[in-house]
Amino acid sequence: MDNTIIIVVVVLTLTTLACPSTGADTWMTDYDQHFTFQCDENQHLKSIDSAHDNAKEDRVFNFTCEDAPAWTLLGGCEWSGFANDYDGFLEYQCPKESVITGIESIHSNPKEDRIFKFKCCEPFGGPPGMFTHGCLYTDFVNDYDETFSFAVPDGMVLRGVSSIHDNSKE
């Protein structure tokens, strides 16, 4: 299996990472609310979906996870501090060879923006010298106020995210 990583570049309206699934009727998170999402043990984040609401100036999210390869255990997990400030640029990459296994976010109504933390876990038990390689950034996967759905390609893992906030788009 190719142990490649991918860093998603996400343009958000007033928030940080964005990814929605078109036509989703239910969402794991609520508008204007704090949320914490974590994959089950030995799983990593596989997809992020998000939809924006202009009246609420916020996003809702869905996440899916995927099992780590059979020969790998994910451990040594740690939460980052907040990776961005309100109204600021978000660029985060898990340290070492770790992958994203959780996301926490707090929304501010006065700022109409979100701040994010990420849970990163390191792979253990793979072949000697196992490491991620061939890392790449995606192009922007959405535009301001757009819904989107992003799934990490097979054989790759999500190690980071990037997002641009623009107050004039609120």
Quick one: what percent of the chain has pLDDT higher than 90? 58
Domain boundaries, the chain: 4-169
In the predicted model, is pLDDT for residue 1 greater than 50? Answer: no
If you average pLDDT over residues 140-164, what whole number do you get?
89
The DSSP code for 85 is -
CB 164: neighbour CB atoms within 10 A? 17
Rounded Cα gap, residues 116 and 114, in angstroms: 7
Interval 19-64: pLDDT, tens? 333 445 699 999 999 999 999 999 999 999 999 999 999 999 999 9
CB within 8 Å of 28: residues ≥ 6 apart: 35, 37, 60, 61, 62, 63
Average pLDDT value over all residues in the chain: 83
Could you tell me the pTM of the whole model? 0.81
Question: Quick one: pLDDT at residue 28?
Answer: 96
